[in-house]
Structure 1
Amino acid sequence: MRTLLPGEWIDGDVIVAAYYAYYLELIITMYADYKNMKEAEKDVTSPRCWFLPTYYSQAALADWSSLNFAQAAGFRDRYMGRLDTCEKIYVPINCDGHWYMLLVDISHATATIWDSLESPSRREKMINESLAILASLDFVLRQEARALFGNRFSFLNFQIYRQAGLPQQPNGFDCGYYVMKYMDSPCIVVHDSYQHDLDHARLLLALYLVQSPLNKIRRRLIQEARKL
């Protein structure tokens, strides 16, 4: 939770301690779980978005070909609903210690890279990582996708773009927060009038995480806070 203090990293591969990386990734995954929970409240036939956890991209980028069908089904059952109602898939990705988002838009057959700290040195790697994610979606969803869209359908045929006009983070440690903001309100982030107080937003996010029903130590944290 201290990673949400102003000036601290919200990232998965930074600083020195292994547990630090684990908890930072957990924050993003918790928020993905929360967004999926809200999507599940919609009518069963309503258009939906899928929010994948950080370890999905880690598995895909490590060696997707080694993933067995049981593991693939685990991702499918927990984080993916009916493909016929899915409009977009949000995939957080870590590139050399920097978080960015790949937004897969099924209705437009596009995959867009949302990056709050653009760097020419990372562009090619991000493209290759995006292709690996699309290949993983083909692996997990091939049977259902081809039943819906035909045998020639492939996520690898989607056009890959970079989202233009994104506000750039003013430092090297806020990429994790921006990824969660992309999950929350991407259309607002790209608006010309968008201004954001990151320190204030971090405090609000910390409050959400403490109070979230997905937080397994929620009750203990609230009890400790009451003692202060």
Structure 2
Amino acid sequence: MSSYQKRSAGSENSSFSHSARAMAPGNYRYPEVKTPLRRQVHAPSPVKKFGLCACTRQIRRNRSPRRVSGNVLGGFISMTHNSLKRNALDSPLCYSMDREVIVVDDELGDVEMISDDTSMEADAVENVAMDVDETAEKENEPSLEVVDLENGNFMVDDGSQGDNKKSSLVWNRPVTDVCGFEAYRKALESAENRTSKLKDRGFGNAVKERCRALLRSLRSFWLQDEEPIEDVRREPFLPLSKEDETAVKHAFSANIQNMLVTHKNSNIDITGENLRCLKPGQWLNDEVINLFLVLLKEREAREPKKFLKCHFFNTFFFTKLVNSGTGYNYGAVRRWTSMKKLGYHLIDCDKIFIPIHMSIHWTLAVINIKDRKFQYLDSFKGREPRILDALARYFVDEVMDKSEVDVDVSQWRREFVQDLPEQRNGFDCGMFMLKYMDFYSRGLDLCFTQEHMPYFRVRTAKEILQLKAE
């Protein structure tokens, strides 16, 4: 067959093919190109690394329909697709950032990276900032570029050794909290040497402050493991041992005339009859209350850093200060608070506690110097304004007499505390009053209830027998 006939036959076949496609398009079509396998990349990669330029040239050479039939061209496209897929899976990840801007906060000194052309995962680059600025290009200053991030390794290319060479600035540690911070610090130290703008902003001080913060957090973490911080809120509720409960039980059943303990400094004696007021259902007496207040003051002297500086008046103070017959009388209690007797002035205290006995009911008044207010606490939530007025007058007279200071208490608050544990029976008022003082002297809120009163009674009896408040 001559070349003319071959060309004619080819033309006829070509015409037939086009006609057949027009009539039955479903029977003649190029192979469908499937969507390439999607793989998650962390940064855009140059297209040329996947060989698309080469395949484009190959398609251009074979794009003539007279040389390549439909089946051959479809097979070539499928083959090219498979080749691209293999190259994409086998080629190393390349992270290049075409544009990055450093934003420096003048007040906080924090630096963060803003990249328009990257999609790097936040977990891999957390707390890592790169020092590339648009002004650096004008000043011919080299820029940093993340070129590899494999197996948690962090590599930075400064462009000083060519396009295909990696810088020696490599950290072979996984990106965790501490290591991420280390990478952040080292990257920014390198940035400080390369970018004059960061130098002008005093960036080194921000890095040093972050280092100090990290060291403080690590130190506190290790100290917490070695020396656990004791919860002070548990101390008022520590359980009693069986030996302590047995000792209190024997003391409650002792002869009423037996002398159980004697406190020499205060000259207070506790007999079996006195201690029995701490049994359930009994009213507290002056001896037990006054001795417990002395023990609270001794507790503060043992551990002054743990407790507030307080003064505890005994149960006879207010009846002397405000006599039912003569009224307010500062001279009757003037010598109670001399420097020789106390060793300190009342104005130097945080709180002053005054137990108030009203016929058959115990309440508490507080001169709260720390918070500049006068407080009244009643387990039945009663109010007695005259008591706070008398104490305000006493405090002014006392400070003038002992410290020669004229205190203005006109702006101090008068507070009748309502958010406090409330008494649910007719005999625990004295116990409530003691625990108000106990918790306030610890610097704690009044976080107890009526249900704790049986435990507090036994614990107070134990502390009195041991002559030591805990």
Q: TM exceeds 0.5?
A: yes
Matched to 2:322, the amino acid is: L
The residue number in structure 2 matching 1:108 is: 371
Q: Distance in 1 between matches of 2:444 and 2:449?
A: 7
Q: What SS class does the counterpart of residue 50 from structure 1 fall into?
A: strand
The residue number in structure 1 matching 2:288 is: 27
Deviations 1:93-112 (A, max 9, x none): 11232111112111322011
The residue number in structure 1 matching 2:388 is: 130
* Partners of 1:91 and 1:101 within 8 A in 2: yes
Q: 1:135-146, aligned counterparts within 5 Å?
A: 135-146=393-404
1:160 paired to 2:414: yes
Pair 159,174 (structure 1): closer, same or farther in 2 beyond 3 Å: same
Q: Distance in 2 between matches of 1:58 and 1:80?
A: 24
Matched to 1:4, the amino acid is: L
The residue number in structure 1 matching 2:457 is: 202
Q: What SS class does the counterpart of residue 322 from structure 2 fall into?
A: helix
Pair 210,47 (structure 1): closer, same or farther in 2 beyond 3 Å: closer
Deviations 1:94-148 (A, max 9, x none): 12321111121113220111111124xxx2xx2102211222233333234553x
* Partners of 1:102 and 1:113 within 8 A in 2: yes
Pair 6,56 (structure 1): closer, same or farther in 2 beyond 3 Å: same
Q: 1:74-89, aligned counterparts within 5 Å?
A: 74-77=336-339, 78=341, 81-83=344-346, 85-89=348-352
Q: Distance in 2 between matches of 1:91 and 1:163?
A: 15
Displacement after TM superposition at 1:83 (Å): 4.0
Displacement after TM superposition at 1:41 (Å): 3.2
Q: Distance in 2 between matches of 1:211 and 1:47?
A: 23
* Partners of 1:113 and 1:163 within 8 A in 2: yes
The residue number in structure 2 matching 1:6 is: 280
Matched to 1:82, the amino acid is: H
Q: Distance in 1 between matches of 2:338 and 2:451?
A: 34
Q: What SS class does the counterpart of residue 6 from structure 1 fall into?
A: coil
Pair 143,108 (structure 1): closer, same or farther in 2 beyond 3 Å: same
Pair 76,163 (structure 1): closer, same or farther in 2 beyond 3 Å: farther
> Which blocks of at least 5 consecutive residues in structure 2 are unaligned?
1-274
Pair 60,66 (structure 1): closer, same or farther in 2 beyond 3 Å: closer
The residue number in structure 2 matching 1:67 is: 331
Displacement after TM superposition at 1:59 (Å): 0.9
Q: Aligned match of 2:301 in 19, 27, 40?
A: 40
Pair 174,7 (structure 1): closer, same or farther in 2 beyond 3 Å: same
The residue number in structure 2 matching 1:225 is: none
* Partners of 1:61 and 1:133 within 8 A in 2: no
Deviations 1:185-222 (A, max 9, x none): 1365534x7564211211111121122179xxxxxxxx
The residue number in structure 2 matching 1:99 is: 362
Q: Aligned match of 1:58 in 300, 305, 319?
A: 319
Pair 97,30 (structure 1): closer, same or farther in 2 beyond 3 Å: same
Q: Distance in 2 between matches of 1:66 and 1:165?
A: 32
The residue number in structure 2 matching 1:90 is: 353
Matched to 2:394, the amino acid is: S
* Partners of 1:83 and 1:145 within 8 A in 2: no
Q: Distance in 2 between matches of 1:154 and 1:133?
A: 13
Q: Distance in 1 between matches of 2:379 and 2:309?
A: 25
Q: Distance in 1 between matches of 2:303 and 2:317?
A: 24
Pair 170,82 (structure 1): closer, same or farther in 2 beyond 3 Å: same
Q: What SS class does the counterpart of residue 38 from structure 1 fall into?
A: helix
Deviations 1:27-79 (A, max 9, x none): 111111111222233569x96111111111111121442735xx512334445
The residue number in structure 1 matching 2:426 is: 172
Matched to 2:414, the amino acid is: I
Structure showing greater radius of gyration is 2
Identity %: 22
Q: Distance in 2 between matches of 1:127 and 1:80?
A: 31
Q: Distance in 2 between matches of 1:137 and 1:105?
A: 11
Q: What SS class does the counterpart of residue 185 from structure 1 fall into?
A: helix
The residue number in structure 1 matching 2:446 is: 190
- CA RMSD between the two structures: 2.9
* Partners of 2:278 and 2:458 within 8 A in 1: yes
Q: What SS class does the counterpart of residue 137 from structure 1 fall into?
A: helix
| Alignment size in residue pairs | 188
* Partners of 2:337 and 2:345 within 8 A in 1: no
Q: Distance in 2 between matches of 1:73 and 1:205?
A: 30
Q: Which has the higher contact order (CA 8 A, sep 6+)?
A: 1
Q: What SS class does the counterpart of residue 58 from structure 1 fall into?
A: helix
Q: What SS class does the counterpart of residue 34 from structure 1 fall into?
A: helix
More helix by share: 1
* Partners of 1:47 and 1:85 within 8 A in 2: no
